[in-house]
């Protein structure tokens, strides 16, 4: 029973990171119909930014301060890179989905190549404070502290995004744009600004996901292709949750991550087939697409 | 009298189909001009071309500015209220949020809107997707009237509505027309006769008739131009 509870806790933490990775992707596709294959790159850059902040800030500031600043820095870098990508590369290509896919894949390949050239292909380690590595003892369970960090970030972002989308004018514009972009324009609203904002928010979430994944699940190791690996699960979550739905992404992220954790341990652990966890998420995707093509919370196409 | 809208030699091609083939007409300021014609002759496309929602060639002047090639939001900010054919309320947003999106600066006049449509006030927190067709049309018209726009483009406001509701909407539009220029697309000739002073008739993407609304009193002309009996 204890193992099940620890697996569940770890699955919720992984789900929080999948949610962070998927929510921006979902909003970007839902509002702008842009299938952004550079989203994985935003995660990778977030992780590298985290590494740079954590290693270059003065050690006299202390590990906790540096890791907090590293997380904030990763979020800001993700937002900036995504905003610049939208303004320079995506904006001239609206209405050209094939070109958007090609340019975002190209950007990803090029920058990952540059990262390999600059940092090498060997994984780099983000120095984290000891308390992040240690577990907390609750009711007979030893729960990793880093998982609390991921879950906390996921919950804050979920509620923050929900509030932003429900209460602010730009949030309402984004929700309206997901439903009917043309009518938003016909009300005199410059949807282009909302597009840039969505990219910035999505990039911030990706940067945060990238650095948190590194700290929580990657043994503090940063590598050039880790964002692309995470992107696959983000796409699975987005499709299962329903394009453009933040709540859908949150629920789907939890379901996907828990399924992955359980199957990896209970089936993969006995059979020695560790990839069964990844395979189970793809099978779940196939089942959802068969039974409910628009996803759990998606709009009717 | 100046013109709120001047269109000359307007061409629109959609998916290889030449929908508008050199349309020219004007909408005098302060008037209600009805754009009439059979289904599929290009009435809605004309409104969409004015708003920049479809690519077009030719010249379009709106409220004194040549808006050819302008993005939609810039054209609308000149002072246009638009009621689309299918209402296009945002179903996932509440009534209140739908109206909030239509606000321009601080000139939004909710008191007038709620006086015209008290039901919108009582249903402010209700999702627009759960409203009836008539209530959605109220919301769509309310969005267009919220800021006292000098030009209203209204596309088939009576479509799919019960006669009693159509009459109520005609009352509202009549009041709105007192301080706005209106370009109205409408199939219901009794509504047109009540609201409009001028008519422009399209057929096969071209203007085939311009004149006073009293022209619609001639049943032969109505049958010839619109293919319907003119007794409405």
Name every residue whose Cβ is closer than 8 Å to that of residue A96 and which is 6 or more positions away in sequence. Answer: none
A42-80 pLDDT per residue, tens:
999 999 999 999 999 998 888 888 999 999 999 999 999
The answer to whether the Cβ–Cβ distance between B73 and A175 falls below 8 Å is no
**pLDDT recorded at residue B167:** 87
List CB contacts (< 8 A) between A190 and chain B: 71, 73
Buried (b) or exposed (e) across B104-136, using 16+ Cβ within 10 A?
A: beeebebeebbebbebbeebeeebbeebeebbb
pLDDT, average across residues A287-298: 89
| Cβ–Cβ contact B129 with A under 8 A | no
Chain A partners of B82 at a C-beta cutoff of 8 Å? 186-187
Q: How confident is the model at residue A1 (pLDDT cuts 50, 70, 90)?
A: low
CB atoms within 10 A of CB B212: 11
Quick check: A186 and B84 CB within 8 A? yes
pLDDT digits (tens, 9 = 90+) for A87-135: 999 999 988 889 999 999 999 999 999 999 999 888 888 888 888 888 8
Q: What are phi and psi of A211, to 5 degrees?
A: -75, -35
Residue contact B90–A175, C-beta within 8 A: yes
- Domain assignments of chain B as residue spans, ordered by start: 3-79+151-226, 90-149
CB contact under 8 Å between A185 and B76, yes or no, is yes
The closest CB to that of B101, out of A182, A187, A299, belongs to A187
The full 3-state SS of B173-225, as one line of letters, equals: HHHHCCCCEEEEECCCHHHHHHHCCEEEEEECCEEEEEEEHHHHHCHHHHHHH
pLDDT confidence of residue A38: 95
CATH of B3-79+151-226, one of 2.40.170.20, 3.40.50.300, 3.90.550.10, 3.90.950.10: 3.40.50.300
pLDDT at A298: 75
Within an 8 Å CB–CB cutoff, is residue B92 touching chain A?
yes
Please state the ipTM of this predicted complex. 0.91
pLDDT in tens, B147-186: 889 999 999 988 888 888 888 888 889 988 988 999 999 9
Residue B108 C-alpha, separation from nearest chain A C-alpha, in angstroms: 13
Residues of chain B below pLDDT 70: 1, 105-106, 228-232
Please give the pLDDT value at position B206. 93
pLDDT for residue A301:
45
Look at A268 and B24; give whichever has higher pLDDT. Answer: B24
Contact A180 B90 (CB under 8 A): yes
CA–CA gap between residue A153 and residue B127 (Å, rounded): 30
- Tell me which chain A residues have a C-beta less than 8 angstroms from the C-beta of B104: 188
């Amino acid at each position: 029973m204890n193992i099940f509870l620890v697996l569940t806790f770890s699955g919720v933490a992984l789900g929080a990171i999948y949610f962070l990775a998927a929510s921006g992707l979902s909003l970007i596709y839902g509002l702008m119909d842009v299938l952004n294959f550079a989203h994985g790159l935003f995660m990778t850059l977030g992780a590298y930014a985290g590494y740079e902040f954590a290693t270059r800030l003065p050690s006299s500031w202390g590990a906790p301060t540096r890791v907090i600043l590293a997380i904030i820095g990763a979020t800001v870098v993700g937002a900036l890179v995504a905003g610049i990508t939208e303004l320079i590369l995506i904006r001239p290509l609206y209405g050209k989905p094939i070109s958007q896919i090609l340019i975002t894949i190209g950007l990803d390949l090029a920058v990952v190549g540059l990262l390999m050239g600059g940092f090498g292909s060997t994984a780099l380690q983000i120095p984290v404070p000891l308390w992040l590595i240690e577990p907390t003892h609750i009711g007979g369970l030893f729960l990793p502290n880093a998982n609390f960090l991921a879950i906390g970030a996921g919950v804050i972002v979920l509620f923050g995004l929900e509030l932003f989308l429900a209460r602010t004018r730009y949030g309402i514009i984004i929700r309206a744009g997901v439903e009917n972009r043309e009518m938003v324009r016909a009300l005199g609203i410059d949807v282009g600004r909302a597009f840039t904002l969505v990219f910035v928010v999505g990039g911030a979430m990706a940067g945060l996901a990238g650095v948190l994944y590194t700290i929580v699940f990657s043994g503090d190791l940063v590598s050039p292709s880790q964002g692309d690996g995470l992107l696959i699960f983000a796409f699975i979550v987005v499709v299962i949750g329903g394009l453009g739905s933040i709540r859908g992404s949150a629920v789907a992220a939890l379901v996907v991550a828990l399924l992955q954790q359980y199957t990896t341990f209970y089936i993969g652990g006995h059979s020695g087939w560790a990839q069964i966890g990844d395979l189970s998420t793809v099978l779940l995707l196939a089942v959802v697409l068969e039974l409910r093509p628009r996803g759990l919370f998606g709009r009717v196409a | 009298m100046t013109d709120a809208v001047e269109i000359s030699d307007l061409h629109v091609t959609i998916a290889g189909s030449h929908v508008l083939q050199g349309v020219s007409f004007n909408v005098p300021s302060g008037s209600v001009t009805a754009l009439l014609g059979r289904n599929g002759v290009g009435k809605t496309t004309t409104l969409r071309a004015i708003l920049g929602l479809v690519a077009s060639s030719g010249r379009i002047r709106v409220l004194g500015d040549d808006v050819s090639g302008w993005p939609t939001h810039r054209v609308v900010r000149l002072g246009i209220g638009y009621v689309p054919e299918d209402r296009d309320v945002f179903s996932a947003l509440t009534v209140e949020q739908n109206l909030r999106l239509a606000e321009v600066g601080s000139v939004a006049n909710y008191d007038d809107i709620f006086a015209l449509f008290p039901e919108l006030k009582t249903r402010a927190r209700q999702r627009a997707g759960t409203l009836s067709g008539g209530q959605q049309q109220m919301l769509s018209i309310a969005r267009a009237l919220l800021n006292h726009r000098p030009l209203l483009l209204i596309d088939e406001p009576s479509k799919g509505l019960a006669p009693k509701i159509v009459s109520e909407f005609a009352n509202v539009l009549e009041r709105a027309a007192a301080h706005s220029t209106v370009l109205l697309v409408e199939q219901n000739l009794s509504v047109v006769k009540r609201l409009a002073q001028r008519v422009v008739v399209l057929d096969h993407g071209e203007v085939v008739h311009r004149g006073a609304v009293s022209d619609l009193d001639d049943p032969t002309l109505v049958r010839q131009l619109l293919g319907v009996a003119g007794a409405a």
